[in-house]
Chain A
Amino acid sequence: MSAGEFTFYLLSAVILIFSVMAVSSRKLLRAAIYLLFVLVSVAVFYLILDYLFLAAVQVVVYMGGILVLIIFSILLTSHLAERLPVVPTWTVIVTSITTIIGAGVVLSILYEQKLIASLGKAGTYDVETIGKSLLSYEKLGYVLPFEVISILLLAALVAAIVIAKKPKGSKSIEQ
Chain B
Amino acid sequence: MNAYDYTLWIFVLPFLSFVITGLLKGRIKASLTGLIATSVIGISTVLSYLTAYKYFIVNKSTPYVAVEAMSTTWLRFSQMDVDFGILLDPISVMMLVVITTVSFMVHIYSTGYMKGDPGYSRYFSFLSLFSFSMLGLVISTNLIQMYIFWELVGVSSFLLIGYYYQKPSAVAAAKKAFIVTRFADFGFLVGILILSNYAGTFNFIDLTDPNGILITQPIGASFMGISVLVWALILIFMGGAGKSAMFPFHIWLPDAMEGPTPVSALIHAATMVVAGVYLVARMFPVFSLGAPEALGVVAFIGAFTSLFAAIIATTQRDIKKILAYSTISQIGYMMLALGVSGYGGEQGLGFTASMFHLFTHAFFKALLFLGAGSIIHAVHTNYMDEMGGLRKHMPATHITFLIACLAISGIPPLAGFFSKDEILVAAYQSNMTYFLVEYLVAGLTSFYMFRLYFRVFWNKEPAYKHTPHESPNSMVIPMVILSLGAAFTGFIHFSGFVTSDGAAFDSHIHWNIAIAAIAIAIIGIGVAWKLYASSSDLSSRISKSLGAIYTVAKDKFYIDEVYIFITKKIIFNLVSRPIAWFDRHIVDGTMNLIGNGTVAISYRIRKFQSGNLHQYAFMFGVGVLIATAIYLYFITA
| Other-chain contact of A98, B618, B628, B629 (Cβ < 8 Å) | B618
| Interface residues as binary, B595-637 with A (CB distance below 8 Å gives 1, 0 otherwise) | 0000000000000000000000010011001001100100000
Q: Which of A9-54 contact B (CB under 8 A)?
A: none
Are A105 and B618 touching (Cβ within 8 A)? Answer: no
Any B CB within 8 A of the CB of A141:
no
Taking CB atoms, residues of chain A closer than 8 Å to B621 are: 98, 102
Instruction: Enumerate the 10 nearest inter-chain pairs by beta-carbon distance, A residue then B residue, closest first.
Output: A102-B625, A105-B629, A105-B628, A98-B622, A109-B632, A105-B625, A98-B621, A101-B625, A102-B621, A98-B625
Taking CB atoms, residues of chain B closer than 8 Å to A95 are: 618
Closest to A91 in B: B614
In the bound complex, what is the Cα–Cα distance between A102 and B622 (angstroms)?
Answer: 9
Minimum Cβ distance to chain A for residue B558 (Å): 84
Taking CB atoms, residues of chain A closer than 8 Å to B622 are: 98
Most buried by A among B622, B625, B628, B629: B625
In the bound complex, what is the Cα–Cα distance between A83 and B186 (angstroms)?
Answer: 88
Taking CB atoms, residues of chain A closer than 8 Å to B618 are: 95, 98
Minimum Cβ distance to chain B for residue A156 (Å): 21
In the bound complex, what is the Cα–Cα distance between A109 and B628 (angstroms)?
Answer: 11
Taking CB atoms, residues of chain A closer than 8 Å to B632 are: 105, 109
In the bound complex, what is the Cα–Cα distance between A105 and B622 (angstroms)?
Answer: 12
| A95-B618, A102-B621, A109-B632 given; 10 more Cβ-contact pairs under 8 Å | A98-B618, A98-B621, A98-B622, A98-B625, A101-B625, A102-B625, A105-B625, A105-B628, A105-B629, A105-B632
Q: Which of B242-268 contact A (CB under 8 A)?
A: none
In the bound complex, what is the Cα–Cα distance between A101 and B621 (angstroms)?
Answer: 11
In the bound complex, what is the Cα–Cα distance between A91 and B628 (angstroms)?
Answer: 23
In the bound complex, what is the Cα–Cα distance between A95 and B625 (angstroms)?
Answer: 13
Q: Which of A92-121 contact B (CB under 8 A)?
A: 95, 98, 101-102, 105, 109
Closest to A112 in B: B632
In the bound complex, what is the Cα–Cα distance between A54 and B628 (angstroms)?
Answer: 32
Closest to B622 in A: A98
Binding site for A on B (CB under 8 A): 618, 621-622, 625, 628-629, 632
Q: List 13 A-B contacts (CB under 8 A).
A: A95-B618, A98-B618, A98-B621, A98-B622, A98-B625, A101-B625, A102-B621, A102-B625, A105-B625, A105-B628, A105-B629, A105-B632, A109-B632
Taking CB atoms, residues of chain B closer than 8 Å to A98 are: 618, 621-622, 625
In the bound complex, what is the Cα–Cα distance between A105 and B627 (angstroms)?
Answer: 11
Taking CB atoms, residues of chain A closer than 8 Å to B625 are: 98, 101-102, 105
Minimum Cβ distance to chain A for residue B637 (Å): 12
Taking CB atoms, residues of chain B closer than 8 Å to A102 are: 621, 625
Closest to B625 in A: A102
Closest to A95 in B: B618
In the bound complex, what is the Cα–Cα distance between A102 and B629 (angstroms)?
Answer: 9
In the bound complex, what is the Cα–Cα distance between A105 and B618 (angstroms)?
Answer: 17
Closest to B614 in A: A91
Minimum Cβ distance to chain A for residue B443 (Å): 105
In the bound complex, what is the Cα–Cα distance between A101 and B625 (angstroms)?
Answer: 8
Minimum Cβ distance to chain A for residue B284 (Å): 88
Minimum Cβ distance to chain A for residue B254 (Å): 86
Minimum Cβ distance to chain A for residue B612 (Å): 12
In the bound complex, what is the Cα–Cα distance between A172 and B637 (angstroms)?
Answer: 60
Closest to B632 in A: A109
Minimum Cβ distance to chain A for residue B629 (Å): 6
In the bound complex, what is the Cα–Cα distance between A105 and B625 (angstroms)?
Answer: 8
Taking CB atoms, residues of chain A closer than 8 Å to B629 are: 105
Closest to A94 in B: B618
In the bound complex, what is the Cα–Cα distance between A109 and B625 (angstroms)?
Answer: 13
Minimum Cβ distance to chain B for residue A94 (Å): 8
Minimum Cβ distance to chain A for residue B635 (Å): 14
In the bound complex, what is the Cα–Cα distance between A63 and B618 (angstroms)?
Answer: 29
Minimum Cβ distance to chain B for residue A75 (Å): 23
Closest to B624 in A: A102
Most buried by B among A95, A105, A109: A105
Taking CB atoms, residues of chain B closer than 8 Å to A109 are: 632
In the bound complex, what is the Cα–Cα distance between A64 and B632 (angstroms)?
Answer: 41
In the bound complex, what is the Cα–Cα distance between A105 and B624 (angstroms)?
Answer: 11
Closest to A106 in B: B628
In the bound complex, what is the Cα–Cα distance between A98 and B629 (angstroms)?
Answer: 13
Taking CB atoms, residues of chain A closer than 8 Å to B628 are: 105
In the bound complex, what is the Cα–Cα distance between A109 and B632 (angstroms)?
Answer: 9
In the bound complex, what is the Cα–Cα distance between A101 and B624 (angstroms)?
Answer: 12
In the bound complex, what is the Cα–Cα distance between A101 and B633 (angstroms)?
Answer: 14
| Interface residues as binary, A73-100 with B (CB distance below 8 Å gives 1, 0 otherwise) | 0000000000000000000000100100
Closest to B633 in A: A105
Minimum Cβ distance to chain A for residue B346 (Å): 103
Minimum Cβ distance to chain B for residue A90 (Å): 13
Minimum Cβ distance to chain B for residue A131 (Å): 37
In the bound complex, what is the Cα–Cα distance between A101 and B622 (angstroms)?
Answer: 10
Taking CB atoms, residues of chain B closer than 8 Å to A105 are: 625, 628-629, 632
Minimum Cβ distance to chain A for residue B158 (Å): 75
In the bound complex, what is the Cα–Cα distance between A121 and B621 (angstroms)?
Answer: 39
Minimum Cβ distance to chain A for residue B632 (Å): 6
Closest to A109 in B: B632
Minimum Cβ distance to chain B for residue A88 (Å): 12
In the bound complex, what is the Cα–Cα distance between A144 and B50 (angstroms)?
Answer: 92
Minimum Cβ distance to chain B for residue A76 (Å): 21
Closest to A108 in B: B632
In the bound complex, what is the Cα–Cα distance between A48 and B622 (angstroms)?
Answer: 35
Taking CB atoms, residues of chain B closer than 8 Å to A101 are: 625
In the bound complex, what is the Cα–Cα distance between A18 and B319 (angstroms)?
Answer: 115
Minimum Cβ distance to chain A for residue B626 (Å): 10
In the bound complex, what is the Cα–Cα distance between A95 and B622 (angstroms)?
Answer: 10
Minimum Cβ distance to chain A for residue B610 (Å): 15
Minimum Cβ distance to chain B for residue A115 (Å): 17
